[in-house]
Structure 1
Amino acid sequence: MERLLLFPLNGDTEVLLQNKGASTKYQITAISSYYEDVKRLEELENKNSLYCSVDFKSCLKKVDTVLFAENTMGHEYSGYKTRVEEALNAGKNIYLGASLMQRLDIDPKNENINILQKRDLPEKFKGTRLKDIRIPILAVMGEGENCDKFKLQVIIKTIIEKKGYTVLSICSNLLGQFIGMEALPGFLFSENLSLQVKIEAFNNWIYKQQENSKADIIVLGCPGGILEFDEYESNHYGEIPLAILNAVISDKSILTIYSNCKQDENSMKDLSNFCQMRYNTAVEEFVISGQYFRADHERKIIKYHSGKEQAGSDCEVKDLEMENLSDVDDKGKIERQIDRILMELKNNFFAI
């Protein structure tokens, strides 16, 4: 197994750590991050048989390969670039996404670089009529970036598999490949393809995936957010979820919401109606993320943070006891939500 170093520490890499036994190819051996993460690194090292340090070069000595996760917490990219160069100089293989590589201005011709989610279309692809997917699809959607979609999707996959079903889990996060999930194809993120081409190509891609998987159900992650929710965050106007959910018919969907977005029955009904009209998918179940956002008006950006207790007084969700609303850390309640979804799918002629 490849000994793997994760950089940096964030919500996505912590999900990998929590599921580190799911891969038969990679063994997470070390974690490195920024100086502000020293305390959390110490906690992880005490709880796990891992080497955790802000000293990136010392971590490199323990591993064969480095996985650079996306910059979700707004760190300076110069810190990324320096560490990529250090890893390459040490002769280590590295994995990183195409968007991160472009931002860092890294030479893709280096033989030690493995690009995740290349953005080229499959060879010989030509436009085609959409094909019917023969098994049920459960979509995982979110209000925006850093909304715990990845964490929720891993939880859902585990719950359904424990019930004896085979799951084809197509992940909104490219890190899913390192714990036995499929990553979305990179062409969905291309700026050079029309919406029509993305829809047709993704339908063709997922049809082949389900043909080869022998799965009972598809859990399909939709990256980004469903709408523009702030003047500084367009969420690309929901283009990728729109392409995905035009390419396939989702039987059911779950929506994650930020912990500082006030919710009640009326607001959730509005979100459900919005998803039905724009994405043609029924959203009846909701999950509160462990993330919240703040607008940085000076820099005109949105900054994302972890921890509900720091979300502030506007972190108010009325009637958390509602059965269709759970917390992302309440796995028992999420399982009840999944049970309801599976029961409805069983009653469908084309279901499991």
Structure 2
Amino acid sequence: MTNKLIIFPFDYETIALVRNLNLLGSYGEVVLISFQGSGMIGKDACVVDKGQVTGLIVKPVSCLEQELESCDDILLVQSNFKLDVAEVYLPVIKKAGQLGKKVMFNFTLPDSCMELIQPGEEHGYKLILKNTFDVRTEHISPPDPSSAIHDFFTPVLFVIGLNERTHKLNLQLNIRQKLEAQGYQVSQVTSNGCGELIGAHSFPQFMFEGGMTETQKIIMFNRYLKKIEQSEKPDLILVGIPGGIVPFNNTFTNYFGVTSFLASRAVRPDGLICCLHYDEYNLKYLEHVKQYMENRFSSSLLGYALSNNVFDSYSSSSVNLQYASVNPRFVEEKKQEFSSYPVPILNLSSDEDMGKLTEDILHYFSVDHHVAQF
């Protein structure tokens, strides 16, 4: 009998997980459930990114209670939709707990919700929070700001996005699997909260919370990565950085790229991969971005990965960003315009291009570049 997983509410944030179901390991069946009116009901999951057909049809929320009866686990994900956490998630958590199901999250539940859930744990609730590192360290005092940070002896590769929603997670999972297929050990920190579900680590929640100074966050993240290096002894540490690295404009700020800057102070990356939206770029702009990133992160850009997502600045507001997807063939055509540019510009939807990127990474992390050899 195979295990069954429900993902709710399914949207763009979990499409990378759906496209890499083999990493889920023990789940033989995955059910995707979303809201009526989302535009996805009754359609293949590929509707959210216009990629290859997945074979998984999105079901309406009216099916949730019935599917809960027969599932083993449910993953509740932080959605693009603006949701009332107590109204949407609490009834599902309580029902799943009563049925003895395992409930997982890729975000931190508010304290007010936890207070309502915890008494139920005595009656068979199986609650697993998404970020085990945060759970282990939530009662540990922040470090002394004058503490030293550790050096790293393993190559570190950052996957960053110029802006949000650039398919970073899909690229991370693709690179990891291609390297592992060649026998390399990769330790991965994902740019969203599903890391533990796929044999990786999530970007730690403490990097986004108050209560610590920026200096303390840098030290904590350094220790987080060092612990991974020491315990897993990988050939490569692959770190996905959440969000964008620069403001889009004065309205859409990407939080000014603070997260990526703090991460780069905790560990200097040995290489960078930058994911981009589909847009009307020119060589002068790409060169400007390259110089900016290499100066800011004190590292080298190995390549641009072009997604088929487009940011719709005209329809967006500061609290509700809007995106659209173009046919991947337009990405391929755009890529060809920059064939003479010295930095590889790759189609993120192309498996052939992802294979080429993997080979470029292997070539870069060699003695020729004075980085620890794989």
Aligning the two structures, in what range does the TM-score lie when normalised by the shorter sequence? 0.7 to 0.9
Indicate how the Cα distance of structure 1 residues 115 and 160 shifts in structure 2: closer, same or farther if over 3 A, else same: same
Report the TM-score when normalising by structure 2: 0.81
Match among 86, 91, 94 for residue 92 of structure 2: 86
Please list, as runs of the form range in 1=range in 2, the aligned pairs for 1:6-21 lying within 5 A after superposition: 6-21=7-22
**1:158, 1:137 → 2: CA distance?**
16
Q: Which moved more, 1:198-207 or 1:333-342?
A: 333-342
Q: Does 1:243 align with 2:262?
A: yes
Q: Does 1:293 align with 2:293?
A: no
Secondary structure at the counterpart of residue 189 of structure 2: strand
Gaps of 5+ in 1: none
- Report what 2:4 is aligned to: 3
Q: Deviations over 1:209-245 (max 9, x none)?
A: 1111021111111111101113332211111111111
Gaps of 5+ in 2: 48-52
Indicate how the Cα distance of structure 1 residues 192 and 125 shifts in structure 2: closer, same or farther if over 3 A, else same: closer
Asked if 2 retains the 8 angstrom alpha-carbon contact of 1:60 and 1:87, the reply is no
Indicate how the Cα distance of structure 1 residues 243 and 27 shifts in structure 2: closer, same or farther if over 3 A, else same: farther
**1:253, 1:43 → 2: CA distance?**
28
Asked if 1 retains the 8 angstrom alpha-carbon contact of 2:335 and 2:345, the reply is no
Offset of residue 190 of structure 1 = 1.2
Match among 354, 360, 363 for residue 340 of structure 1: 360
Q: Does 1:95 align with 2:95?
A: no
Q: Deviations over 1:270-317 (max 9, x none)?
A: 11111122222222310111322212568444524352149x9xx966
Q: Deviations over 1:147-195 (max 9, x none)?
A: 1110110011011112221111111111132122111222111122211
**1:298, 1:289 → 2: CA distance?**
19
- Report what 1:123 is aligned to: 140
- Report what 2:50 is aligned to: none
- Report what 1:211 is aligned to: 230
Q: Does 1:181 align with 2:200?
A: yes
Offset of residue 125 of structure 1 = 5.6
**1:83, 1:349 → 2: CA distance?**
46
**1:278, 1:53 → 2: CA distance?**
44
Please list, as runs of the form range in 1=range in 2, the aligned pairs for 1:52-201 lying within 5 A after superposition: 52-54=58-60, 55-72=63-80, 75-78=81-84, 81-91=87-97, 92-99=101-108, 101-102=109-110, 106-108=113-115, 110=117, 111=121, 112=125, 113-117=127-131, 118=134, 123=140, 126-127=143-144, 128-201=147-220
Give the AA of the match of 2:305.
V
Offset of residue 25 of structure 1 = 4.7
Asked if 1 retains the 8 angstrom alpha-carbon contact of 2:268 and 2:297, the reply is no
Counting matched residue pairs gives 344
Percent of paired sites with the same residue: 18
Indicate how the Cα distance of structure 1 residues 179 and 89 shifts in structure 2: closer, same or farther if over 3 A, else same: same
